[in-house]
Chain A
Amino acid sequence: MTSANLALRIANVTKRYGRTLALDGVSFDVPRNTMFALLGPNGAGKTTLMHILSTILAPDSGTAEIAGFDVLRDPLEARSRLGIVFQEPSLDDRLTVRENLNIHGLVFGVPQPLRRQRIDEMLQLVELTDWADKPARTLSAGMKRRVEIARALIHDSEIMLLDEPTAGLDAQSRSRMWEYVRRLQSERQLTLLVTTHYIEEVENCDRVCIIDHGKVLAIDSPDALRHQQGEQILIFTPRTQSDRSAILASFSDRLVRDDSSGIALKADDRFIESFLDQFGNRVRALSTQVPSLETAFLSLTGRELRDKDADAREVTLAFGKRGGEHTR
């Protein structure tokens, strides 16, 4: 693929904070007009990468290009093509929604008539037209996030970086967020790079990059990731003891477990068909377990996203915060 078709090109980016390696030789490409998700636990290096792409942090080594412009050599060109929604809210609480958007337009050099038109369009898109002249502080967290998305699109952004756009939102706001993001992508030429630690949210992305400890663990489509990392499992209970031994005898190589909940066999679509032909009338409570991204993720990172094991330092810190032994 030529670099002209690439929205983002990240090659061997490394960033070190003191002794911790935040990014360790990260490389990937994002083709134009796709939705790319960065998935990883907290502290995996997602935000560091976002900051490097938004040109406010310089990588120690490696290159990052935005629409062909190097973030170090051509930061202004790169920035003018970026729409960024940071993890922390950054609206001006004292100004109204429209004023916030207008000042953003001015700062990004959008000429007046176009600015006004874009503001109206974007407010409509995120369904906040009624709130245009209300002070930003009166908006809920989800609405503020939507304003920030609208704001990132006031100028001619080709690539949108969304750093944890759904963090801290309730389930309903989260699904609406994604609705807007998807609608946006269908309406205008836009490449999206989204970071998240909610696995279920990356299902709709074109490609997912799983990252942990600053290293890229896998990059693929959600489907491919599921199938690479997990397998379908067939679970059933044999009707009689003789059925049970017959099944176990013929499929011992596929056996996953055999306990009170039934027998579990590794399976694919073809196997299930032949299994049903053969033993269909000799089993009951038949079910299949489709691999989820969650299992794929677990097998790659070896830990759950949300309950990351606290390391010794964090345990000590938490102890101190609770007013530990010596501070009591």
Chain B
Amino acid sequence: MSLDQSAQTETRKTNQPRRRSWLLLQLGGLYGLWLREVMRAVRDRGQLIGGASRPILWVLILGIGLNPYFRGEVYGEATFVVPFTYLQFIFPGVVALNVMFTSVQSAVSVIWDREFGFLREVLVSPLSRTTILLGKILGGSTVALLHGCLVLVLARFADIPLTSVDVLKALGLMAILSFAVTSLGVVIANRIRTFEGFGVFSNAVIMPLYFTSSSMFPLDPALSKDQTRVTYPDWLVTLVEYNPLTYAVDSLRGALIHYNQFEPWMGIAVMIAAAAILFSIALYDFRRA
């Protein structure tokens, strides 16, 4: 008796030997689904151009434009003690932004698949629903990771010297982030079933998340907690502190420009937790649907 037959406790009516074990089948299918997502994205020129132009816009226009105001002295006092230029400071945030946008956008294909029959085609395959969803999300996150790398290429324009260790660390963090945000996108796509609705709603979720993640401005790290709450409006501080993305951007900043506002491990922990929770929700929805 072969291994995979003994794994199957239930006796089969036909005595035809099972050619491949269940796990191998799922892995092969996972690869197929992943490959499809990546190929689709690579074929789409518009997506690639958008993915490249977005960071250039942020880094060049916003970064260079706001650069002189970042460490300005007010009444002879240095207001910030962040030892970086604005361009350097915003750079990890732009990496995160590009990863997030691409992640959420790749979740649109969930709606696309549902509308145009591919989903049904996969649902009648011998793959489990977990595999199907995982393949989808891994494919989306891979594309997002690639778009994140497009930003990394711009590092030298932002005066950020990158060692290979930095890059590896950043890639790892970007991978977890993209997995989490793609899962979020799928959760949204499962609830909002039209293309237009998805576009509007995902922007309404992503933009506020991004703006309150201290990716564009830091809450002055020189101040104590109480001082921060006096200097900045209370609600903003609360929003920033409760935004999981704050910690993701922070750990990314730690990897790229070696500057952390919080404990470095917090970013990883928060992101893994978010990824796990969002994937579970997506899976729950998908199994039920």
Contacts and interface: CB of A to CB of B under 8 A. Distances in A.
Q: Which applies to chain B's interface (DSSP): helix, strand, loop or mixed?
A: helix
A54 B126 CA distance: 11
Contacts of A99: 39
Contacts of A107: 28-29, 32-33, 122, 125, 127
B225 interface: no
A112 to B, nearest CB: 9
A76 B126 contact: yes
Contacts of A55: 124
Given A76-B126, A80-B126, A92-B118, A111 B32 contact: no
A88 B114 CA distance: 12
A25 interface: no
A79 B127 CA distance: 9
Interface in B9-37: 12-14, 19-20, 24-25, 28-29, 31-33, 35-36
A86 B120 CA distance: 9
A135 B117 CA distance: 17
Contacts of A95: 36, 39-40, 43
A94 interface: yes
A79 B126 contact: yes
B20, B24, B121: residue with the most chain A Cβ atoms closer than 10 Å: B121
A295 B129 CA distance: 46
Nearest to A54: B124
A82 B124 contact: yes
A315 interface: no
B36 A103 contact: yes
Contacts of A69: 13
Interface residues of B, number: 30
Interface in A25-56: 54-56
B234 interface: no
A90 B29 contact: no
Interface size class of A (residues with CB under 8 A): 20 to 34
B123 interface: yes
B226 interface: no
Interface in B28-79: 28-29, 31-33, 35-36, 39-40, 43-44
A123 interface: no
Contacts of B235: none
B36 A109 contact: no
Nearest to A92: B118
A79 B39 CA distance: 26
A106 B31 contact: yes
Nearest to B12: A77
B125 A111 contact: no
B214 to A, nearest CB: 38
A94 B40 CA distance: 6
Contact of A106 (B12, B19, B32, B124): B32
B28 A68 contact: no
Contacts of B128: 76
Given A68-B14, A95-B36, A111-B20, A106 B28 contact: yes
Nearest to A109: B25
Interface in A58-77: 67-69, 76-77
B60 to A, nearest CB: 31
A90 B121 contact: yes
A320 interface: no
A270 to B, nearest CB: 49
User: Which 7 residue pairs are nearest across A and B when measured between Cβ atoms?
Assistant: A106-B32, A90-B117, A109-B25, A80-B126, A90-B121, A107-B32, A107-B29
Interface of A: 54-56, 67-69, 76-77, 79-80, 82, 84, 86, 88-90, 92-95, 99, 102-109, 111
Given A56-B120, A89-B117, A104-B121, 16 more contacts: A68-B13, A76-B126, A76-B128, A77-B12, A82-B124, A90-B117, A90-B118, A92-B118, A93-B116, A94-B40, A103-B32, A103-B33, A106-B28, A106-B35, A111-B19, A111-B20
